[in-house]
Amino acid sequence: MKIKFFLAISILWIAGCSGQEVSSNKVFKEIALVNRIEFVNPKYDQPKFSCGFLIKYNNETFAVTAKHILKIIKPESMKTLSLEKDIKNWALYPLNNKSEMVICDKLLNENNSELLEAKSTYDNDWLVFSIKQNTSHIIPLEIRNTPLIQGEKLYVVGWTRTMENGPQRVYEFAYYKTISNRILLKDILVPEKFGGLSGAPLVDENGLLVGIVSNGTVDPESNKKFFSPCSVTNLVTFIENRKSDKQ
C-alpha cells in the first residue's frame, strides 16, 4: 500500500509540474520582454506587466507592446491614447535578466482623439515606441513579408502573468485563417492561462514576426472563438508612412 501511495503522489507531483511548464521544445534567441510602467501617480505603477519585444525595420529599432493593456491599468483620468499627463516612464526588460533595460522615448502612435475605451482599440492592438536607451541583449525581430500557410506552426514567445522569473517560454499554434487584421490560431502546446502574454510576439518557424498577442476572435463560419493575435500589417504601414512624412 505504501508503494502505491508514494507512486500516486509522485505521479501527481510530476503532472503538477508538467502543467506549470507546458511549452514547446522550439528554441529561439532571446526576443521577449516585459513592460515596466511608471505613472505620475505611483499607485498605478506596474513593475512587471504583460509582454513586448523589439522590431528592426528600415535600419531603425522600435519597442512594441499591446495597446489594450492600457485599458486594464490606466487611471480613470486617462481617456485617450496619450501618455504625457499620466505616464512618467515606460521601459521593457527580459524577465530572466532584470538588469538589462530598454528605455522608451516617445509613443509614436499617440493619438489624442483615440478613446481607450472604444472597441476599436483592438483593431490595431499595438503601441510602438522610439527607443532612448537599450542596454539589453534582446534580438530585434524582422517582419515576415510572405503569406501564412494554413496549418503551418506559429509560436508565441513570452511569459504568463504567474511567472516571476526564468527563461522566455515558447508556445505552439497552427495557423487557421486571417479575418481582417486578426490571425486565428489553433492550439497545439499552450499555457493553461494566457493572462500576461498580451503584447508578446507571434513568430514563424524562422523567428520572423507575424503578429502581436491580443485577444480572441469568433470565426463567423464556425461560430467558434479562436486565440487571435493582431497582424503586424498595419504596424508596418504606420512605420513606413511615418518615414515618408519625415522626408
Q: Is the dihedral of CA 39, 45, 47, 52 positive or negative?
A: negative
pLDDT tops 90 at residue 91: yes
What is the per-residue pLDDT across 1-21, written as a single tens digit (0 to 9) for each? 444 434 443 333 333 343 456
Mean pLDDT across the stretch 115-119? 87
Q: Does residue 247 fall inside a structural domain?
A: no
* Residue 92 domain boundaries: 32-134
156 and 84 housed in the same domain = no
169 and 202 housed in the same domain = yes
CATH assignment of the domain containing 102:
2.40.10
36 and 125 housed in the same domain = yes
74 and 168 housed in the same domain = no
Task: Name the percent of the chain lying above pLDDT 70.
Answer: 89
Query: In DSSP terms, which residues pair with 224 in a beta bridge?
Result: 219
With cut-offs at 50, 70 and 90, classify the pLDDT of residue 125. very high
Q: Greater confidence, 119 or 15?
A: 119
- Tell me the pLDDT of the chain averaged across its residues: 90
Domain end: 72, 101, 134, which one? 134
The pLDDT of residue 17 is: 40
Q: How many folded domains does the chain comprise?
A: 2
156 and 129 housed in the same domain = no
Q: Which of 189, 212, 185 is nearest to 199 (CA)?
A: 212
Q: Does residue 243 fall inside a structural domain?
A: no
128 and 156 housed in the same domain = no
Q: Does residue 241 fall inside a structural domain?
A: no
Q: Which stretches within the chain are classed as H helix? A: 2-21, 69-73, 233-246
AA letter at 200: A
With cut-offs at 50, 70 and 90, classify the pLDDT of residue 243. low
Q: Is the dihedral of CA 104, 105, 110, 112 positive or negative?
A: positive
Q: Does residue 212 fall inside a structural domain?
A: yes
174 and 110 housed in the same domain = no
Q: Give CA separation, 2 vs 6, 8, 13, 14, 15, in Å.
A: 6, 10, 16, 18, 20
43 and 124 housed in the same domain = yes
Dist. CA 47–CA 32, nearest whole Å: 16
CA 44 to the chain's CA centroid: 21
Locate 96 and state its grid cell.
530572466
Locate 158 and state its grid cell.
513570452
CATH assignment of the domain containing 195:
2.40.10.10
Task: Name the percent of the chain lying above pLDDT 90.
Answer: 83
pLDDT tops 60 at residue 82: yes
124 and 170 housed in the same domain = no
pLDDT tops 50 at residue 213: yes
pLDDT tops 90 at residue 27: yes
Mean pLDDT across the stretch 117-128? 88
The model's pTM is: 0.89
Domain end: 134, 165, 195, which one? 134
End-to-end CA distance of the chain: give it in Å, rounded. 79
What is the per-residue pLDDT across 142-174, written as a single tens digit (0 to 9) for each? 999 999 999 999 999 999 999 999 999 999 999
Dist. CA 8–CA 12, nearest whole Å: 6
Helix (H, G, I), strand (E, B) or coil at 67: coil
The pLDDT of residue 5 is: 38
124 and 158 housed in the same domain = no
Q: Does residue 122 fall inside a structural domain?
A: yes
Domain end: 101, 134, 167, which one? 134
Q: Does residue 244 fall inside a structural domain?
A: no
46 and 103 housed in the same domain = yes
